[in-house]
Amino acid sequence: MNAQAPPRRLARLGHDFRYVLPGLPLAVVSFALLVPLSAASIGTFVIWLGALLMPLTLLLATSMADLSRSRLRSWGLQVARPHYKPTTKSVTGLMRVMTDHRRWLDLAFEAIIAFPLRLILFVVSVVWLGLALGGLTSWFWKLFIPGEPSAGSGWPLLLGLIAPSLAPQTALGMYVLDSAVNLAIGVGALIGLPWVVRGLAEADARITHALLGGSAAREGTDVPTETRPSSSGMSMNTTGWAWVSTGFAAAILLAVGWPMLATVHNIHPAIAMVLALTQSVALVLAVRWAGGAAALMLLSALGTVLASSDLTGAFFSAEGPWPWPVTSLIAYSLMIVVLALRHHWLWAAAIWSAGTMLTAGAFLVIARHIPDGALANAIVLTSVSAGLGLLAILGRTWLQNLGRAEQAERVSAEELQRRRDLEERNRIARELHDVVAHSMSVINVQSTTARYRKPGIAPEIQQEFDDIAQSSRQALNEMRALLALLRTGEVPTAPVPTVADIPDLIEATRASGAQISYSGPDAEVSPAVGLTAYRVVQEGLSNALRHSPGSTVEVTVATETDAVSVEVLNSAPASDAEHASGSGLGLAGVRERLSTVGGTVEAGPQPEGGFRLYACIPLDGGRTASSDPLPE
């Protein structure tokens, strides 16, 4: 086990590198194609050229998104292709592409998000790998660098400051010390390389899946695995887009807000960093935690007002907007939008009211005099945030109504399809009742009343009629169960055949003159497994009588460790006379039945003539057996 660990780690490292590194070239291609096409489509929309170019851009974005989904599958993450609105080969069908929000999301990801995301991951992975390789080989390539190491710089200088007695005094000593330190760094970077690359691959995969897919489930941790289509039919993962969008906006606000608070508003850099970071964190938390995000945003706004004002009446900066800096105003407005889209509208109304009261309090309590532009700043805050919040509330209501309409349309379509299926099943049930059941009833009546209609029948001939009557009655009972299943969709509760009924089936078949040998199981099995075994034997006997009249048949049912094996083997037909033809649906039905319980079927002719039907039924798979169709 330990000897195989390094190869497995190397395979996983190579697998992760193969996922991370090719992502950047694909993102560069997407960015280089989609951004110019999008700009050209928007710029030429007024002359209707963009109306034709934009659908092509969206279709190209979908193709690039499918490549990203293929990368996820090759890495081992389950992801299904979302449902897109159908398109037709016409101008109207092409224009309909622009009404599909899923394609717009694909365009946003491939044109805006994919390139910076994969560029960062690519640079980090390459730099980390270079750090490991450079540290491990520094002792070699340093020999070819012109000049000698200086005792006044680098690691020798640091060691000389800490422990002067240990500082190397020769060029060789400095070279050895510097190489040793670089080697230690390289070893540490090499040891951490698998975890770093795995983390980068996980970040790329999770973000990509959150924006392009529905549900995810890793199938393996070491090497790529075959994936199954996801059962999720989601066309848009709103939660993933919300997290990524707010995180992206929060990062930009932090990068811009911190220096603006420190330079324009003369706030101490440390305090400015805390205030900007608090705003960004609050914006991200608004996706999931409305109360905590609102409290953080209000505390940050209050801290910004206090830090940018002088309680004696003078302001540190007369140039900067007060009491809401531009970045704080944007963060506050985005917070209201996120709350309106992700939570009940009362949260957005509450944070807007609290911000308005905070602004009024800043004028009434903190400021001894109102600076120029402060009133305009307050009006912009209240009006812009209220407008954006109202639009977000209306947008969420529209999306909810649209979702309800789509759900109602889907339910209506399902009900219509269910009604059509029920009508078709009732039609099939009527046909079976009028044709097959009527014929079987006639056979049963004729065979039962033969002794009264034809007095003096020999006992052996009468036994033949009795066997025919018994078989027809059993067929009628099964026909009634099948008709009930077709008409109601419910499995009847009448007793079903099991392994214990196989000897009776063989005796009834022997009455037709067939030579049948039987070997039964030596242990009991569940009713579901017994029903499957019974149907396999029934199909095998039916095929032998129909296609190989006069042949000898061997039936073997045996219990193994975790399965039941059923074998029906018949010899070649006794004569070359034309045999009865079949529809070929019997073996197909057996395969379908076995597939539902996880079993296997083998069927085919034998070299010496005859036919062999073999089935292996798992003992724990019979619980999934479903309906019980008649054999062909």
Q: Which two tokens stand for residue 570?
A: 């018949």
Q: Which long-range contacts (CB under 8 A, 24 or more apart) does 471-479 make?
A: 471/508, 472/440, 472/441, 472/443, 472/444, 472/447, 473/444, 474/508, 475/440, 475/630, 476/437, 476/440, 476/441, 476/444, 478/628, 478/630, 479/432, 479/436, 479/437, 479/440, 479/630
Q: Helix, strand, coil: what percent of the chain each, to 5?
A: 70, 5, 25
Q: Which two tokens stand for residue 475?
A: 């067929």
Q: For residue 83, what is the DSSP state?
A: P
Q: For residue 218, what is the DSSP state?
A: B
- Is 156 exposed, middle or buried, given 0-12, 13-18 or 19+ CB atoms closer than 10 A? buried
Q: Which two tokens stand for residue 182?
A: 């670089």
Write down the pLDDT at residue 330: 92
Dist CA 255 CA 191 (whole Å): 32
Dist CA 267 CA 258 (whole Å): 9
Dist CA 97 CA 382 (whole Å): 38
Q: Which helix (H) or strand (E) holds 557?
A: strand 552-559
The sign one gets for the Cα dihedral 19, 22, 26, 31 is positive
10-residue averages of pLDDT along the chain (632 residues): 59 87 92 92 83 89 91 84 77 79 87 90 92 84 59 48 50 68 87 91 87 55 36 51 83 89 85 91 90 90 81 50 87 92 90 89 71 80 90 86 78 81 76 69 76 78 81 76 67 68 84 82 81 88 81 88 89 68 67 82 86 87 45 39
Residues 6+ apart with CB under 8 A from 258: 269, 272, 273, 276, 277
* No. of helices (H) and no. of strands (E), the chain: 20, 5
> 332 near 297, Cβ under 8 Å?
yes
Dist CA 419 CA 427 (whole Å): 12
- 44 Rama sector, left if φ>0, alpha if ψ -120 to 50, beta otherwise: alpha
Write down the pLDDT at residue 529: 85
Amino acid identity of residue 217, one-letter, is: A
- 456 Rama sector, left if φ>0, alpha if ψ -120 to 50, beta otherwise: left
Write down the pLDDT at residue 490: 55
DSSP calls for 428-477: HHHHIIIIIIHHHHHHHHHHHSHHHHSTT--HHHHHHHHHHHHHHHHHHH
Q: Which long-range contacts (CB under 8 A, 24 or more apart) does 461-468 make?
A: 463/511, 464/511, 467/508, 467/511, 468/443, 468/511
Q: Which two tokens stand for residue 377?
A: 């700043």
Using alpha carbons only, how large is the chain's radius of gyration in Å?
Answer: 39
Please, what is the angle between helix 154-162 and helix 171-212, to 10°?
Answer: 110
Q: Which two tokens stand for residue 219?
A: 């199938």
> 583 near 632, Cβ under 8 Å?
yes
Q: For residue 286, what is the DSSP state?
A: T
Amino acid identity of residue 59, one-letter, is: L
Dist CA 127 CA 196 (whole Å): 11
Longest dimension (CA), the chain: 129
Candidates 582, 566, 481; CA nearest to 532 is: 566
DSSP calls for 228-258: ---S---S--HHHHHHHHHHHHHHHHHHHHH
Write down the pLDDT at residue 454: 77
Q: What count of Cα atoms within 13 Å lies in the side-chain half-sphere of residue 7?
A: 4
> 579 near 573, Cβ under 8 Å?
yes
Q: Which two tokens stand for residue 61?
A: 């974005």
